[in-house]
Amino acid sequence: MNTKELESLLEKYYSGESTEEEEGILRDYFSGESVHKGYEAERDIFRYYRAEKEMPEASLDFESRIMAAVDASGRGGSGINYRRYLLPLLGAAASILIVAGSYIFFSRNENLTDTYSDPQIAYLETRKILLDVSLKMNRATEALAPVGMMNQMTTKSFSAINKSTVIIEKNLKELDKIEFTGENSDL
């Protein structure tokens, strides 16, 4: 088949104007091994249609058979239903753990004592720890300085874009004010 015939048959096929005979010619052509270059996609489409046509249809009772199989598997069959015995056992074990954990938590009666007998030493130690935390936080915020620079650059970029937008809008308003004369007056 030459390219012009093939092109006209494909055009008819895609527009829905082809006959069954012409579609059969296309199916036969694209099922062969030698296909013109540039028509590989159509070859794949027609081969897909042929493969799908060969796929068997589901029987009428297919859905009912699947539902029956699902129901049979849900009943548990001949084996022991472990879920029936396991869930109450797990619930009892969980409640025992909650009671034991509550007892341990509430029965611990620790008397908290100061680690420093002198309040001045306790104050100085607290101050030393807070200073150390402050230094570490300052180092961490210094590492975030490039992120702040990126934020500043983004803000500057958006302000530049906004300035150009304002200029464009101003020029467009001036163009809207211009009255068309002559040939263009009927616009």
Note whether residue 130 is domain-resident: no
Domain count, the chain: 1
Q: Which domain holds residue 27?
A: 3-54
Note whether residue 42 is domain-resident: yes
The structure's pTM equals 0.31
Asked if the model's pLDDT at residue 126 lies above 80, the reply is yes
> Rounded CA gap, 32 and 47, in Å?
10
Instruction: Compute the average pLDDT of residues 61-88.
Output: 76
Higher-scoring residue by pLDDT: 81, 84: 84
Note whether residue 33 is domain-resident: yes
Note whether residue 107 is domain-resident: no
Note whether residue 12 is domain-resident: yes
DSSP code, position 61: T
